Amino acid sequence: MSTPQVVWTVPTVDGYPVMFTPTTRDGAPWWMASLPDLPGCVSDGETRVAALEHLEDAATLYIDTAIEDRVRIPHPYSSYARTTGTGGTAE
C-alpha cells in the first residue's frame, strides 16, 4: 500500500487554506478535506467538491463552538506558513 499524496490547493473556507488528501473507502476513490489551521476540522466526500461542501459545514460548527466556548481561533494560514515558510503569520 502506498502513502497517499497530499495536495495543497487554492480553495479556502473562511480564508483558511484547504488541504485535500486522496484516499479510498470500501475500495472506491474518496477525498479527505481538512483545514490545518483549525485542528481536527476534517471532512470527507466521494469527490473533492463534496468533501469541500462538508468541510464548509464543519468549519462553521468549529468556529461557532470556539466562539461559544471562548476558545482562541487560529488565524488563517498560520500552519501553512509554518510548513512552507510563506504567507501568514506563524504563531
Of the candidates 91, 56, 55, the one whose C-alpha atom is nearest the C-alpha of residue 76 is: 91
Q: Does the structure show a pLDDT above 70 at 89?
A: no
pTM: 0.72
Give 6's pLDDT tier (boundaries 50, 70, 90): low
Can you point out the beta strands (E) in 1-91? 7-13, 16-25, 28-34, 42-45
Tell me how far apart the alpha carbons of residues 87 and 77 are, in angstroms, rounded to a whole number: 7
Judge contact between 81 and 36, C-beta under 8 A.
Answer: no
Tell me how far apart the alpha carbons of residues 26 and 37 are, in angstroms, rounded to a whole number: 29
If one counts the domains in the chain, the total is: 1
Tell me what the pLDDT averaged over the chain comes to.
Answer: 82
Residue 90 belongs to a domain: no
List the CATH number of the domain containing 11.
Answer: 3.30.160.250
Residue 18 belongs to a domain: yes
